[in-house]
Chains A and B, each alone.
Chain A
Amino acid sequence: MAKKKSFVKKSERKISKALSKSVAKKEKEGPKEIAARIKEVARGIVKDIESGRNPRFKTKQRGRGNVLFDEKLGIIKLGDKDTTRTFLNIAHARKFLQTMLVMSKTYEYLTNNKTASIREVYYELKHTIGNTKENTFEDQRESDACIVDLEHSIDTIREKLNVHANPKGTLYGDITLVDRQHHNDTFNCLKLGRGGWSIMSRIEPHEIEIKKVNAKYVLVIETSAMYERLVEEDFARKNKAILVGTGGQAARGTRRLIHRLHFEHKLPVYVFTDGDPYGWYIYSVIKQGSMALAAHSRLLACPEAKYIGMTLEDVEDYGLQNVTEKMKPGDIKRAKELLAYEWFKNKPWQKELKKALQLKIRIEQQALANKSLEFVAKEYLPKKIKNREFLP
């Protein structure tokens, strides 16, 4: 368990009580509860049919119009706007069928203790309808959309539906996990060689149990090159850190794991990305959640996460001017968008973004190698963490 050390501030370990409470409630829901909820929805639809009403499937409206930022909880949330899909509507009928198929399939997974990737769901359900030439699904995007609809309809995440997307991300550090779905394998992630542990898509407590953690914080790293560098420099052992490599935008499983480490083990989360709009957004997704999965922020976001770098201040402090790169038109556009997001509307970030837009430069994590290969592990990170040089 985490121990107090001078450079980890006490306040960082304090987690928003309101969020904690609702997270805890959500976390308790296992396959049985979720299956029961699907059944409830199906019963409602059958009841509609039996009483001669147009059967309807209700889910949350997604899209920007129903996405909002909850300042109190510090997460991106979905509003209360609902959307209804009815069968007796030419435009909805096919989608209605697809939703029913996905509902029935996930119900089957949950009751039979099976799990599947979203691609497997697609292939399992794809077939020709009756004696027509029409397929139930033409494209995985169609079934993916239905899975998202179902997640939102019964207010859960797909991982709890026993369905998952492609895994991505690695974990390294003194943490002991138990795979309860696979012979109760127990392993310490410091002992898996340099590759670390490949983070699975589903990190639900009933599947992966976090048995023991011996670390002071979680360090999330955007690029795999930097992750490998820090493993090689034995950063985790030397600093009692847990390293999480996201390999770009963090996958759901990775976010879920970071979330759990933060909420279950009260570990501060520090995010280390490239100093560019893409990296900043990766950070914001880990911290506040994403717009696409606004409804799931409670189970994915870490509002107390902090940003280590790269920052434009680093460029000045370490004299990295000659290893910066020019911002491309796409970068500039994205930076302007970030500038307008509510969760970037605090002084330090506004200052950082405006500065970037003014200088039109970006700085990569690897640019630190300009100093020396060990520089990032020996000086940059320890110093920044010790001095609490974070962006909020």
Chain B
Amino acid sequence: MEGELKKEIITGEKLAKEFKEHSVAEFFKKNRQMLGLYGKVRTLTTVVHEYITNSLDACEEARILPEIEVKIDELGPEYYQITVKDNGPGLTKETVGKALGKLLAGTKFHRLVQMRGQQGIGASGCTMLSQMTTGKAIKVISGTGKGKAFACEITIDPKRNEPKIENMRDLDRNFRGLMIQARFKGVLYRESVMGPLEYIRRTAIANPHAKITFRSPKGEKIVFNRTSTYIPKPPKAMKPHPAGITVDDVVTMAHHTKAKKVSSFLKNDFERIGDTALEKIQKLVSFDLNKDPKKLTWGEAEQIVSAFRKIKFLAPSADGLRPIGEERIRKSLESIVQPEYVVTLTRPPKVYAGGYPFQVEIGIAYGGKAGISTNGNNRTQSEEQGVKVEIMRFANRAPLLFDAGNCAITKAVHSIDWKRYGVRDLENTPLTIFVNFISVHVPYTGAGKQAIADEDEVMEELRLALMVCARKTARYISAKRAEIERRMKRDMFYKYIPEIAEALSKITKKDKEKIAKKLEWLVLTKLKLEKKEEKSSKELKVEGKDSKKVAKGEEKIAEKSR
């Protein structure tokens, strides 16, 4: 017996050791899907995403207006080099290794903070991917603006998950920011809706304070200028709200807390738990809350969670939410999408699943260059053919390019009866629908983190916000359509005028030009009259129907959150 046991322990240790040695590389290979690294185009987009979000987050924290340059070069078939340069705070020689050469070293995990980079592999993941596909190190130049900048090359030691820094040298110039250059094989650059360019375009829209320059493999230079100089406040870390917590969360948190008693642990580490709530909890659990949290058992944690469910807590504070703002979305859409008409809306924060605050922002852009052109980019103003609707989804300002069909945003957009809003055929209308979902805890549907789950409150809020914007857009669309119709009518009358004038002039010997001029005047007079009639009758209709619906929606939501 003893021998057998001993043998088993040895085997176990050996296994553990082997696992550790291969862990990082294996983890990568086995979890490529989860990490968003499947598909040649998607992988490249994910890499761009990692670098850009890092830059944006760093600049935000350092209160710097970001200027980011992204360059993609094609080195061979399915072989690309990405260069990303920012003007952020930069990394020091001490921090550069941990930031770019150690997996899962980021501080975002296990923190309830609204961050862009909640999905993906992190910049270190990119280092790993580069190394795995090309065997090459990533090249880094960094400077803090104080003293000399430095350059180095970084790889990851897959056995120890530790950075390997080589070729470290000081540069003879003052530079603030970070430049990373990395090479990847087995990836593909495409200018599709899932490609890097579209990702950058959308990032620029949702981050109007950033200036982003992109150089494509074809050598094109595309600049997305900033339309705002307001740097968003860094999001505040949020304590978890009792309503959304699981037993496992409670156990893990209890074992890591600095509190000496379960009671103080609950009070300090959770939001909205005060003395009154503590008293109620004490009545609902079978053990003493003065207990050492480190000794909290699973069963006891279960009791706490079931007590949480029975007690009404105040809704969580929405302090951690950082919306872009209506005006800034408007300017951004005007500058980058270049539509004829934009309406934007930032809704007040709401709560889903009892404990998670969230907020919805909508922008609807119509006409002009809004929508996706299906036949190149050359289209005229009034032309509605060859244009498809474009739905831009964002979670905390980060574009969601994949898995659109499963996303609550897409579902909400399609659940609306657009015909009521003057959009006869949503799919083929020059519309860009911008939706930013903001939450410290985005309810993603899967590990790919590209689709938002259709929680009831989320759907209801999305629909309501979309309807409010659609109503305003409808007014513009119908006015525009009426204008187009008037113009078409005018042209139809006008084309007959010269011939009519000539015919009448031949018989009566009156001046042809005079007759024609007078006829044109008659046409204009008539159409102006029609314009007035249309406007008043249509507006009344839309107004009457919709305000009722919106009011209803508000009531429904109010009821739910009560």
> Which A residues fall within an 8 A CB radius of B?
38-39, 42-43, 45-46, 49-50, 52, 54-55, 87-88, 90, 93-94, 96-97, 100-101, 103-104, 107-108, 129-130, 132, 134, 136
Inter-chain CA distance A52–B521, complex, in Å, is 8
Inter-chain CA distance A264–B507, complex, in Å, is 34
CB < 8 Å: which of B500, B503, B515, B522 contacts A54? B522
B487 at the interface (CB under 8 A from A): no
**10 smallest A-B Cβ distances: which pairs?**
A104-B503, A42-B507, A100-B503, A97-B496, A104-B506, A88-B526, A100-B500, A107-B507, A49-B518, A42-B508
Chain B residues positioned under 8 Å from A101 (CB to CB): 499, 503
- Report whether A103 and B507 are in contact in the complex, using a CB–CB cutoff of 8 Å: yes
A107 and B506 contact, Cβ closer than 8 Å, known pairs A46-B515, A88-B522, A93-B492: yes
B234 at the interface (CB under 8 A from A): no
B287 at the interface (CB under 8 A from A): no
- CB interface residues, B 482-499, toward A, < 8 Å: 489, 492-493, 495-496, 498-499
- Report whether B495 and A130 are in contact in the complex, using a CB–CB cutoff of 8 Å: yes
B413 at the interface (CB under 8 A from A): no
A52 and B500 contact, Cβ closer than 8 Å, known pairs A46-B510, A93-B493, A103-B507: no
- Report whether B495 and A134 are in contact in the complex, using a CB–CB cutoff of 8 Å: yes
Given contacts A55-B519, A87-B496, A130-B498, 13 further A-B contacts (CB under 8 A): A46-B510, A54-B522, A55-B522, A88-B522, A90-B492, A93-B496, A96-B500, A97-B496, A97-B500, A100-B499, A103-B503, A104-B502, A129-B495
- CB interface residues, B 504-548, toward A, < 8 Å: 504, 506-508, 510, 515, 518-519, 521-523, 525-526
Closest B residue to A106 using CB positions:
B507
B491 → A minimal CB distance (Å) = 9
CB < 8 Å: which of A45, A52, A54, A129 contacts B504? A45
Chain B residues positioned under 8 Å from A134 (CB to CB): 495
A308 → B minimal CB distance (Å) = 47
- Report whether A129 and B522 are in contact in the complex, using a CB–CB cutoff of 8 Å: no
- Report whether B504 and A42 are in contact in the complex, using a CB–CB cutoff of 8 Å: yes
- Report whether A96 and B526 are in contact in the complex, using a CB–CB cutoff of 8 Å: no
Chain A residues positioned under 8 Å from B526 (CB to CB): 54, 88
A to B contact number (C-beta, < 8 Å): 72
B519 → A minimal CB distance (Å) = 6
- Identify 15 residue pairs between A and B in the complex whose beta-carbon atoms are under 8 Å apart, listed by A's number: A39-B507, A49-B518, A87-B500, A87-B522, A88-B522, A90-B489, A90-B492, A96-B500, A97-B500, A100-B499, A101-B499, A103-B507, A108-B506, A130-B495, A132-B495
B366 → A minimal CB distance (Å) = 27
A107 → B minimal CB distance (Å) = 5
Inter-chain CA distance A187–B507, complex, in Å, is 38
Closest B residue to A129 using CB positions:
B495
Chain B residues positioned under 8 Å from A88 (CB to CB): 493, 522-523, 526
A309 → B minimal CB distance (Å) = 50
Inter-chain CA distance A360–B504, complex, in Å, is 56
Inter-chain CA distance A54–B521, complex, in Å, is 11
Inter-chain CA distance A117–B508, complex, in Å, is 25
Inter-chain CA distance A101–B496, complex, in Å, is 11
- Report whether B519 and A49 are in contact in the complex, using a CB–CB cutoff of 8 Å: yes
Chain A residues positioned under 8 Å from B515 (CB to CB): 46, 49
Inter-chain CA distance A54–B518, complex, in Å, is 11
Inter-chain CA distance A108–B515, complex, in Å, is 20
Chain B residues positioned under 8 Å from A96 (CB to CB): 496, 500
Inter-chain CA distance A383–B523, complex, in Å, is 70
Inter-chain CA distance A134–B502, complex, in Å, is 18
CB < 8 Å: which of A55, A108, A129 contacts B499? A129
- Report whether B522 and A49 are in contact in the complex, using a CB–CB cutoff of 8 Å: yes
A100 and B492 contact, Cβ closer than 8 Å, known pairs A49-B515, A54-B522, A136-B499: no
B497 → A minimal CB distance (Å) = 9
Closest B residue to A49 using CB positions:
B518
Chain A residues positioned under 8 Å from B492 (CB to CB): 90, 93
Chain B residues positioned under 8 Å from A50 (CB to CB): 518
B531 → A minimal CB distance (Å) = 14
Closest B residue to A97 using CB positions:
B496
A386 → B minimal CB distance (Å) = 56
Chain A residues positioned under 8 Å from B495 (CB to CB): 129-130, 132, 134
Chain B residues positioned under 8 Å from A46 (CB to CB): 504, 508, 510, 515
Inter-chain CA distance A46–B502, complex, in Å, is 11
Chain B residues positioned under 8 Å from A129 (CB to CB): 495-496, 499
B521 → A minimal CB distance (Å) = 8
Q: Which of A39, A52, A104, A130 has the most CB of B within 10 A?
A: A104
Closest A residue to B517 using CB positions:
A49
Closest A residue to B523 using CB positions:
A88
Chain A residues positioned under 8 Å from B519 (CB to CB): 49, 55, 87
B1 → A minimal CB distance (Å) = 99
Inter-chain CA distance A130–B491, complex, in Å, is 12
B264 → A minimal CB distance (Å) = 80
Chain A residues positioned under 8 Å from B504 (CB to CB): 42, 45-46, 49, 100, 104
Chain B residues positioned under 8 Å from A94 (CB to CB): 496
Closest B residue to A102 using CB positions:
B503
A150 → B minimal CB distance (Å) = 12
Chain A residues positioned under 8 Å from B521 (CB to CB): 52
A142 → B minimal CB distance (Å) = 14
Inter-chain CA distance A320–B508, complex, in Å, is 64
Chain B residues positioned under 8 Å from A130 (CB to CB): 495, 498-499
Closest B residue to A104 using CB positions:
B503
Closest A residue to B516 using CB positions:
A49
Inter-chain CA distance A38–B508, complex, in Å, is 10
Inter-chain CA distance A94–B495, complex, in Å, is 10
B77 → A minimal CB distance (Å) = 49
Q: Which of A45, A46, A94, A103 has the most CB of B within 10 A?
A: A46
B499 → A minimal CB distance (Å) = 6
Chain A residues positioned under 8 Å from B508 (CB to CB): 39, 42-43, 46
Inter-chain CA distance A46–B492, complex, in Å, is 20
Closest A residue to B491 using CB positions:
A132
Chain A residues positioned under 8 Å from B525 (CB to CB): 52
- Report whether B507 and A104 are in contact in the complex, using a CB–CB cutoff of 8 Å: yes
Closest A residue to B510 using CB positions:
A46
Inter-chain CA distance A88–B526, complex, in Å, is 8
Q: Which of B492, B498, B504 has the most CB of A within 10 A?
A: B504
Chain B residues positioned under 8 Å from A136 (CB to CB): 499
Inter-chain CA distance A75–B281, complex, in Å, is 106
A216 → B minimal CB distance (Å) = 47
Closest B residue to A42 using CB positions:
B507
Chain B residues positioned under 8 Å from A108 (CB to CB): 506
Chain A residues positioned under 8 Å from B493 (CB to CB): 87-88, 93
Closest A residue to B514 using CB positions:
A50
B511 → A minimal CB distance (Å) = 10
- Report whether A38 and B522 are in contact in the complex, using a CB–CB cutoff of 8 Å: no
Closest B residue to A39 using CB positions:
B507
Would you give the 0/1 interface string for B263-293, flagging 1 where the beta carbon is closer than 8 Å to chain A?
0000000000000000000000000000000
Chain A residues positioned under 8 Å from B507 (CB to CB): 38-39, 42, 103-104, 107
Q: Which of B503, B510, B515, B521 has the most CB of A within 10 A?
A: B503
Inter-chain CA distance A96–B506, complex, in Å, is 16
Closest A residue to B502 using CB positions:
A104
Inter-chain CA distance A223–B406, complex, in Å, is 80
Inter-chain CA distance A107–B504, complex, in Å, is 11
Chain B residues positioned under 8 Å from A42 (CB to CB): 504, 507-508
Inter-chain CA distance A329–B499, complex, in Å, is 49
Inter-chain CA distance A49–B510, complex, in Å, is 12
Inter-chain CA distance A134–B496, complex, in Å, is 10
A8 → B minimal CB distance (Å) = 48
Closest A residue to B489 using CB positions:
A90
Chain B residues positioned under 8 Å from A107 (CB to CB): 506-507
Chain B residues positioned under 8 Å from A87 (CB to CB): 493, 496, 500, 519, 522
